[in-house]
Amino acid sequence: MVEELNVVIVGVGGQGQLFLSRLIAEVFARRGIGSLVAETHGMSQRGGSVIVHVRVGRRVKAPLIPIGGAHVMLGMELIESTRYLDYLRVGGVALVNEKMIRPAGQVVRLNEGELVNYILSRTPHLVLLSSSREATKLGVPVSANVHMFGAFAELVELAGLLEGVDDVVPSLLPRRQLELNLRLYRMGREELRGKLSREQVEGIKKVLVGGD
Amino acid sequence: MSLRRTLGLSEGQALLLGNEAIARGALEAGIGVAAAYPGTPSSEIIGSLAEVADEVGIYVEWSTNEKVAFELCWAAALSGVRALTAMKHVGLNVAADALMSSAYTGVNEGFVVVSADDPSMWSSQNEQDNRLYGLISYVPVFEPENPGEAKELTKFLFDFSSEFKHPVILRSTTRISHTRGPVALGPIPRPKVSGSFRPEPRYSLVPSNARVSRVEVLRKWREVSRRVNSIGFNKLYGDGRVLVVAPGLSHAYVSEALARLGLEDRVRILKISSVYPIPEELVLKAVDGVDLVVVVEELEPFVELQVRALLQREGVPVRVVGRNLEERNYELTLERVVNLLSRALGVEPRGVTPTSSTSGRPNLPARPPVLCPGCPYRPLAFELRRVLNQERIPAVIAGDIGCYSLIHYPPYRLQDTIVEMGGSLGLANGFSTVLRDHIIVSTAGDSTFFHACLPALVNAVYNNHPQIVLVLDNGTTAMTGHQPSPTTRINGRYVAPEEVARGIGVEFVAVVDPYDIAKVRETFLAAVRYVRERGRPAVIVIRRKCALVALRDMREAGEEVVPYEVDLARCIGCAICYSWFACPAITYREDKKAYIDPELCVGCGACVPVCPVKAIKPSKPVDQGRLARYWF
């Protein structure tokens, strides 16, 4: 039974954060575990900064994750991952798509490296993912979220919070381009597995199931 | 899971958005009619009902504004058909006249008015607390705690409304409407969709009838006030010397906050769903033997004031604390509730991070929402800003509410006011009266134009107000998710803004494709001359479909999107395309030359005429003339 698992999904409006959040809530629901997903609609969806709160587990009643309360951040973009990093608890797990989208109409002097360094200064459990790159390579750039979902599925299975995600995923993905999406899902899983040392896995388990 | 996918189910659980849960509750209550004007965070209620209307056999429509939608549903309920209307908080202002009278006429079958408020103003111009509408209208107000309860409460309220033959308000907020959570499903009965009407004096509120109704409303109110003490949605539990009163969503925060503070066994909790009127007998029972009452609620101290008045009236000497005046703004969070409770109870705040730390964080650029790649408003905004600057036209631009509100932001800075739906033409009438040496421009989307701008346009014509009205006609209600507007062609249904303007008596009426920026400039300057010389209003309809709609249709038709690219040999790095046209797909290289991101470019070609050296071209030949059918 999951007591409380808080996941913030952040990025730029249009990257598919809502679909990603629904996938997460549904895989837990299929195992009888309830969740609340506070979505972002309306104005902010138009290319603005987006945060979605996913709260899974028996103890959860309120829709919003408090600052410092997220066990996991799924960052679909680097600037937004940095902006919302204070939602992540100390030592929490940040799975971040290594893509930076500059806001339109502004000259922005920032590089990926300094953002990554800042995230690393707050948590050792940062994994950079190539979700956008892989999705673009396969010709479905909007499916970067499915790649990230694969990484998330691997994470929660490693931590022992869920099992058998593979079995339910085909029924949750859109029928159009199902094969490509399944491939991205598996690639996401593999990429995360390949990037975590045994030590990191142990550390991450403590964060995700260590209570409180 | 979507509402549609739950249709075949009459038991079990589904993960639904709060708005879908409300829609499901209405179906389980047997509604026959639903109507609304879209508005965040309410839109998915009618949106999801519209998707299943044919299958279930009910009537659902997107109406031209909230008042029109309200009245349609009201008439259904007067005729014995259960009806639901839903609107964002400020939408109820538009329908307020109808709301007030609906309490006087009453109804014959359940009539539920959903008000979806927006604490923190995620997509709104203000943070009004619509529970207060109950106070002025004598319409009872109920609030759910989560999506699951929203469904149950909606279903219950139809019976409640039928029982008292009185309308009710279901008040939701962004965090109910746009939160997805588990919802228990029940059976959907066969809906009753046609009614019967027998005239009664209370339906015609001439003073002699209204006076009778007024007395009747007060009598009903006495009964309603008694009844809410026994509804299961209000709950008293736990025990201690402190009572925490938690209406609606705040109960969710209170339960978690008390657990984090380790106080859940030391307080009594009164969860309230009937926020107006409050269950007075239950409150009196709850305060028996407590030393302190803490009211935790979002926005205004609405329940708190009722509790205070009740205790004062009954002579109960117990201290009541709520939030300070300065704490009323924005939505509740766990941190805020933990802090409020720990302050009231005199314990250390625990279980949340005291402050957020961002020390050492690189400076991040703000990321306001932007017009999408391909948006027809972008070339319009670009050219309008350019012509105003180059011709030194002293303009005041009264804006309105929709995607085009975004041209308020740099680099366009084209909306000097954005106040409420229809406020563009209305304020422009006033500006043109007192700012004689200015050119007054008003902007309204097609949906907004029909929603509340028409009376102001008639006024401008009749009273001679020289304003240039830009009707931004993208053929849909785009910002709220592409609900149809009267300009959306469905089965031959269509209302043309330019014909309406001509019919009203506007002499200067033009229709322009915003991608043709030379034509935009020429037409705008002609309108400037016209309003200056004639002192009368001019209307320019800016017509091209919302890019998201056009691109969806192109994708469905199997059309290829050909991204554009920059000829680096020609590009001089002038920055006009990425700094002033500001399409999200156009960014810049180290050498300041432009770069078009093929992932983001939608191949619209709107940037081509913007480039002074003709450096932008399609990455392979494309026939924009042939693709025009998707854009108009």
User: Residue B394, preceding bond cis, omega within 30 degrees?
Assistant: no
SS3 state of residue B534: helix
Which of A86, A104, A118 lies at the smallest CB-CB distance from B583? A104
Same fold, B377-550 and B559-631: no
Q: What are phi and psi of B516, to 5 degrees?
A: -90, 80
Does the structure show a pLDDT above 70 at B322?
yes
Strand order in the sheet with B168-173: B59-62, B33-36, B83-88, B111-117, B168-173, B141-142, B274-276
Residues of chain B contacting residue A8, judged by C-beta atoms under 8 Å apart: none
**For the residues B381-386, what does the mean pLDDT come to?**
98
Residues of chain A contacting residue B363, judged by C-beta atoms under 8 Å apart: 110
Adjacent-strand bridge partners of B115? B87, B171
Contact predicate A132/A148, CB 8 Å: no
User: Mutate which of A4, A26, A36 to test chain B, going by most B C-beta atoms within 10 A?
Assistant: A36
Does the structure show a pLDDT above 90 at A183?
yes
What's the pLDDT at A44? 64
Is the CB of B479 less than 8 angstroms away from the CB of A106?
Answer: no
CA B333 to chain A, closest CA, distance in angstroms equals: 7
What is the helix, strand, coil percentage profile of chain A, to 5?
45, 20, 35
**For the residues B332-359, what does the mean pLDDT come to?**
89
Contact predicate B366/B410, CB 8 Å: no
Is the CB of A85 less than 8 angstroms away from the CB of B361?
Answer: yes
| DSSP state letter for B474 | -
Is the CB of B335 less than 8 angstroms away from the CB of A67?
Answer: yes
Strands in B118-160 per DSSP E: 141-142
Q: What are phi and psi of B428, to 5 degrees?
A: -60, -35
| DSSP state letter for B451 | I
Contact predicate A115/A100, CB 8 Å: yes
As given in the structure block, the two tokens for residue B16 are: 């639904």
As given in the structure block, the two tokens for residue B331 are: 């939505």
What's the pLDDT at B340? 96
Which of A22, A65, A121 lies at the smallest CB-CB distance from B360? A121
What's the pLDDT at A42? 67
Nearest to B201 by CA among B214, B219, B220: B214
Tens of pLDDT, residue by residue over A77-94, are: 999 999 999 999 988 999
**For the residues B314-318, what does the mean pLDDT come to?**
97
Residues of chain A contacting residue B583, judged by C-beta atoms under 8 Å apart: 104
SS3 per residue for B146-200: CHHHHHHHHHHHHHHHHHHCCCEEEEEEHHHHCEEEEEECCCCCCCCCCCCCCCC
Does the structure show a pLDDT above 60 at A212?
no
The answer regarding whether domain A5-209 maps to CATH 3.40.920.10 reads yes
Which of B17, B255, B357 lies at the smallest CB-CB distance from A61? B255
Give the confidence band of A102 by pLDDT, cuts at 50, 70, 90.
confident
Map out the domains of chain B as residue ranges: 3-228, 234-345, 377-550, 559-631
ipTM for this prediction: 0.96
**Sign of the C-alpha dihedral computed for residues B377, B379, B380 and B384 taken in this order:** positive
For chain B, what percent of residues have pLDDT higher than 90? 96
**For the residues A69-78, what does the mean pLDDT come to?**
97
Q: What are phi and psi of A192, to 5 degrees?
A: -65, -45
User: Mutate which of B367, B589, B590 to test chain A, going by most A C-beta atoms within 10 A?
Assistant: B367
Checking phi first, is residue A164 left (phi over 0); if not, alpha (psi -120 to 50) or beta? left
Tens of pLDDT, residue by residue over B498-518, are: 999 999 999 999 999 999 999
Interface of B with A in 316-345 (CB under 8 A): 331, 333-335
Nearest CA in chain A to B39: A42
Tens of pLDDT, residue by residue over A158-168, are: 999 999 999 99
Adjacent-strand bridge partners of B508? B538
Contact predicate A206/A90, CB 8 Å: no
CA A105 to chain B, closest CA, distance in angstroms equals: 5
Q: What does CATH list as the number for B559-631? A: 3.30.70.20
SS3 per residue for B342-356: HHHHCCCCCCCCCCC
| DSSP state letter for B140 | -
What's the pLDDT at A104? 81
| DSSP state letter for B562 | -
Contact predicate B249/B273, CB 8 Å: no
SS3 state of residue B452: helix
As given in the structure block, the two tokens for residue B385 are: 């800003």
Strand order in the sheet with B242-247: B235-238, B267-272, B242-247, B292-295, B319-321
For chain B, what percent of residues have pLDDT higher than 70? 100
Contact predicate B446/B475, CB 8 Å: yes
Residues of chain A contacting residue B368, judged by C-beta atoms under 8 Å apart: 48, 103
Is the CB of B360 less than 8 angstroms away from the CB of A118?
Answer: yes
Map out the domains of chain A as residue ranges: 5-209
SS3 per residue for B490-515: ECCECCCHHHHHHHHCCCEEEEECCC
Is the CB of A45 less than 8 angstroms away from the CB of B369?
Answer: yes
Mean of pLDDT over chain B: 96
Please state, in angstroms and rounded to a whole number, the distance separating the CA atoms of residues B277 and B169.
Answer: 12
SS3 state of residue B297: coil
Give the confidence band of B343 by pLDDT, cuts at 50, 70, 90.
very high
Q: Which amino acid is at A42?
A: G
User: Mutate which of B271, B364, B555 to test chain A, going by most A C-beta atoms within 10 A?
Assistant: B364
Q: How is B195-232 classified by DSSP, letter by letter?
A: ------GGGS--HHHHHHHHHHHHHHHHHHHHHGGG-T
What's the pLDDT at B186? 98
Does the structure show a pLDDT above 80 at A43?
no
Which of A64, A114, A118 lies at the smallest CB-CB distance from B334? A64
User: Mutate which of B6, B15, B342 to test chain A, going by most A C-beta atoms within 10 A?
Assistant: B15
Tens of pLDDT, residue by residue over B410-426, are: 999 999 999 999 999 99
Please state, in angstroms and rounded to a whole number, the distance separating the CA atoms of residues A131 and A187.
Answer: 9
SS3 state of residue B471: strand
| Domain B377-550 fold | Rossmann fold (3.40.50)
> Cα–Cα distances in Å, from B172 out to A9, A130, B329, B335, B573?
24, 39, 17, 21, 50
**For the residues B513-529, what does the mean pLDDT come to?**
98
Residues of chain A contacting residue B1, judged by C-beta atoms under 8 Å apart: 26
Lowest mean pLDDT among B426-435, B437-446, B529-538, B556-565: B556-565
Which of A26, A69, A136 lies at the smallest CB-CB distance from B599? A136
Nearest CA in chain A to B14: A29
**Sign of the C-alpha dihedral computed for residues B137, B139, B141 and B147 taken in this order:** negative
Is the CB of A29 less than 8 angstroms away from the CB of B182?
Answer: yes
What's the pLDDT at B395? 98
Residues of chain A contacting residue B411, judged by C-beta atoms under 8 Å apart: 105
Can you say how many angstroms the Cα of residue B227 is from the centroid of all Cα atoms in its chain?
Answer: 32
Residues of chain A contacting residue B40, judged by C-beta atoms under 8 Å apart: 41-43
Nearest CA in chain A to B124: A43
Nearest CA in chain A to B577: A105
User: Residue A103, preceding bond cis, omega within 30 degrees?
Assistant: no
SS3 state of residue B166: coil
Residues of chain A contacting residue B253, judged by C-beta atoms under 8 Å apart: 61-62
Nearest CA in chain B to A132: B599
Q: What does CATH list as the number for B3-228? A: 3.40.50.970
Which of A14, A36, A114 lies at the smallest CB-CB distance from B181? A36
As given in the structure block, the two tokens for residue B227 are: 């009844």
CA A94 to chain B, closest CA, distance in angstroms equals: 16
Tens of pLDDT, residue by residue over B553-604, are: 999 999 999 999 999 999 999 999 999 999 999 999 989 999 998 878 999 9
**Sign of the C-alpha dihedral computed for residues B31, B481, B127 and A68 taken in this order:** positive
Contact predicate B200/B80, CB 8 Å: no
Helices (H), B8-65: 18-28, 44-56
Within 10 A of B342 (CB to CB), how many other CB atoms are there? 19
| Domain B234-345 fold | Rossmann fold (3.40.50)
Adjacent-strand bridge partners of B15? B182
Does the structure show a pLDDT above 80 at A45?
no
Contact predicate B416/B550, CB 8 Å: no
**For the residues B185-207, what does the mean pLDDT come to?**
97
What's the pLDDT at B480? 93
| DSSP state letter for B477 | B
**For the residues A180-185, what does the mean pLDDT come to?**
97
Is the CB of B372 less than 8 angstroms away from the CB of A136?
Answer: no
SS3 state of residue B617: strand
What's the pLDDT at A141? 86
